[in-house]
Amino acid sequence: MKVSHYSFIAAGVFLLALPLNGATAAEIRVGYTQDASTLDPANHRSRISEGIIRNMYDGILARDDQMLVWPELAESFEQLDEVTYEVKLREGVLFHDGTEMTAEDVKFTFDRLTKEGAMGGETSPRQSLLGPLEETSIIDAYTLRFKLANAWPVFPRMLPFQEVVSKAFVEKVGTEGLATQVNGNGPFKLVEWRQGDSIIMERFDDYYGGAEGIAPVQAAQVDRVIFKIIPESASRVAALLAGEVDLINELPVHAMARVENNPGTKVLKTLGTRSFFILLNNTQPPFDDVRVRKAANHAVDRQIIIDRILNGLAVPINGILSPQSFGYNPDLPVYSHDPEKARQLLAEAGYPDGVDVVLDAETEFKDLAEAIAASMNSSGFRAKVRLWERNALRAHWDPKKPKEREMYFSSWGSGALDPAGIFMPVLRSDARGNRSGYSNAEVDRLLDGANAEPDQDVRSQMYQDAQVIVNDEAPLIFLWLPQDIYGANSRLQGWMPSGRGIIKLHDAYLE
């Protein structure tokens, strides 16, 4: 009792001696939309959590700002045959407790991710992100092999989503303990997690420096990083303007001007990875007729909506893939805004007097949905918007159930930038995210083939061919791919937003 009392006084004196002014301490504060659901890298499905965790844990592979994949904890990563990949680990990578990371830890990590019931009886929610990964075997202390049950060429693009944990530590604290405690190998150590309030981290001095290919290779540049949870956008912007935080995610478009005009803050943006489109119910009139679907694509004036509502911060797309995606086809025909053509197509389809449709949208997209409906209404459609709570709406558009609704302003994110993560689930017959009921045997054949095709050139061509068919059959109204927008302290350097959607502050500092 006595000891702790004195040590507390000592700590108090010590703390008082530290500069209390945030401006002089080397510290970066992030105003972040949501708290991590867990700090266990294997026990979530949330990019929000991953963004926080990634500051404390590294992965075998990582992506740079340009979305290129590099070895991170690995020294090299090599494909031996269609189903086997070999990793050589860096030597001398330390966990925060000072122990060295070896192949044992990596095998333990991937077994924990992929084996049924490997997390205290439960199965990792991230299991399927590793596809058919069957066995991780140790060759020597720094070499491992991943063996897949069948060829899955997207595997290297999925590895940056996983982080490596310490076997000894997990065995000590258990899956329960790993939810709130961290012994990672990343640039920052956990100091304190104030649930719902903030996550405080400090520099890990013995950090190996991060991916060799992503310069600069060095320990973290600041002493401390704090993720402060501010869910309300207006408050997050206020915190940035007040200088309480140095960086915020999800800066709303309407607040951009304020942040830009405010001395001391700036706006950062990057092309995101979420494609927006309108799902059309391909199983029922009127959208079971391809002419009506094409008419709808000609009806919407995408450019004016992008310019007026999205502040110009989106690129129009003519399919479902991001221009940055693997297998993107840059030569797809464009559905120009053409009300005349739309009316004519509608008349051909048997709707010379126009057609009534209802556009479902989630409440947060009210403005965009109304603009789209207005646009359609000058082109022969009579569209009404109906607003819903997100998950209630999704239940109406359950891919596994018969579809009774008509249009849904929707989107799909694909952080892997590979068609396997977006084209396949949204447009293959009966796929998990195929809410439009679209089904085309040739597209299915191409998607299935590409999913297992080891030759990346052949694979890319298959996706490009499939995009041509989808573009022509227009199962969706193709819309746009928005930029991700961040607000930052003007002095913030060493961090650029990227499509990864992750704020890793390893190289960041304040000028």
Partner 1 sequence: MQLRTLIERILQLIPVLLGISIIVFAMITLTPGDPVEIMLGDQISTPEQEAALRRDMGLDLPVHERFFRFLSNALVGDFGNSFFHRRPVSDLILERLPATIELTLVAMLIAIGTAVPLGVVAAVKKGTLIDRIATVASIFGVSLPGFWFGLLLIMLFAVHWHILPVAGRIGYDFEVPKVTYLLLIDTILAGRLDSFLDALGHLILPAVTLGLPMGAILMRVTRTSMLEVLDQDYIAFAAAKGLGRMRILIRHALTNALIPTVTVAALETGSLLGGNMIVETIFGWPGLGRLVVEAIFSRNYPIIQTAVLLYAVTYVLLNFAADIVYTLLNPRVKL
Positions touching partner 1 (CB under 8 A) are: 8, 11-12, 15, 18, 20, 31, 34, 37-38, 40, 43-46, 116, 122-123, 125, 127-129, 131, 158, 176, 179-180, 192, 194-198, 200, 224, 226, 228-232, 234-235, 238-239, 241-244, 274, 389-392, 394-396, 398, 412-416, 420-422, 425, 432-433
Which pairing describes strands 247-248 and 476-489: parallel, antiparallel, or unpaired?
antiparallel
The token pair at 260 is 């830009």
Nearest distance in Å: CB 457, partner 1: 22
Nearest distance in Å: CB 412, partner 1: 5
Range 251-254 contact pairs with CB under 8 angstroms and sequence separation of 24 or more: 251/485, 251/486, 251/487, 252/485, 253/309, 253/310, 253/311, 253/313, 253/485
Nearest distance in Å: CB 47, partner 1: 8
Nearer to partner 1, 78 or 223 (CB): 223
Per the DSSP assignment, residues forming a β-bridge with 133 are 148
Nearest distance in Å: CB 317, partner 1: 16
Nearer to partner 1, 161 or 335 (CB): 161
Nearest distance in Å: CB 490, partner 1: 17
> What's the rounded Cα separation, in Å, for the pair 269 and 267?
7
Determine if residue 152 is left, alpha or beta; phi over 0 gives left, psi from -120 to 50 gives alpha, anything else beta: beta
Nearer to partner 1, 241 or 268 (CB): 241
CB count in 10 Å sphere of residue 180:
14
> What's the rounded Cα separation, in Å, for the pair 374 and 439?
29
Nearer to partner 1, 123 or 439 (CB): 123
> What's the rounded Cα separation, in Å, for the pair 431 and 399?
7
Evaluate whether 345 touches 292 at the Cβ level (below 8 Å): yes
Given the structure tokens 């209630």, which residue do they identify? 392
Nearer to partner 1, 88 or 386 (CB): 386
Nearest distance in Å: CB 374, partner 1: 28
Nearer to partner 1, 169 or 208 (CB): 169
Evaluate whether 486 touches 34 at the Cβ level (below 8 Å): no
Nearer to partner 1, 53 or 295 (CB): 53
Nearest distance in Å: CB 82, partner 1: 19
> What's the rounded Cα separation, in Å, for the pair 178 and 120?
11
